[in-house]
Amino acid sequence: MQMVMVAVGGFSMLEGILEQTRDWSSPFRELDDKLRKIGAASVANEFLAFRLAINVLKHGYGDSYERLLKKEGLPFRVKGKDQYFFDEGDVSEIPGLISVDVDFVHSCALAIEKAMTALRIPRSDV
């Protein structure tokens, strides 16, 4: 549960910081647009995958979940519609549609770092 809170919190903080420091009304949409305009589509795609995962962690089933199910080669596991567990018998597994572990949280942080670096947003702003 703590790792979910860290991952969700990181994206929420970034969203707020971009709203405040960049005056972006739709920070993640504008971040995606700017990354693609500078030729950083792979960074935008990676960030989008984690942003969708964060939405699923926050809201569960919905559009973000459906979009993730259609994506191939994700760097994290998404629970299928007919799947009850990621690892049956693992009593430490928390309920959820995204498998969240240390690697997931680290990858979220890296996706944020790559996006900020590609846009040359100083760390002091984030």
Q: How far is Cα 124 from Cα 36, in angstroms, rounded to an integer?
A: 23
> What's the pLDDT at 39?
95
Q: What angle do CA 8, 49, 113 make, to 5 degrees?
A: 65
> What's the pLDDT at 97?
86
Question: Under 8 Å CB-to-CB from 54, ≥6 apart: which residues?
Answer: 7, 8, 11, 108
Query: Is 62 in contact with 74 (CB distance < 8 Å)?
Result: no
> What's the pLDDT at 94?
63
Of 126, 85, 104, the C-alpha closest to 3 is 104
**Token duo for residue 88:** 């049956």
> Rg (Cα) of the chain, in Å, rounded?
15
> What's the pLDDT at 121?
74
> What's the pLDDT at 126?
52
> What's the pLDDT at 122?
65
**Token duo for residue 4:** 């979910």
Residue pointed to by tokens 């942080």: 109
> What's the pLDDT at 96?
78
* C-alpha 89, offset from chain centre: 27
> What's the pLDDT at 8?
95
Query: What does each of the 126 residues of the chain score in pLDDT, given as a tens digit?
Result: 899 999 999 999 999 888 888 888 899 999 999 999 999 999 999 999 999 999 999 998 999 999 999 999 999 999 887 766 656 655 555 667 898 999 999 999 999 999 989 988 766 555
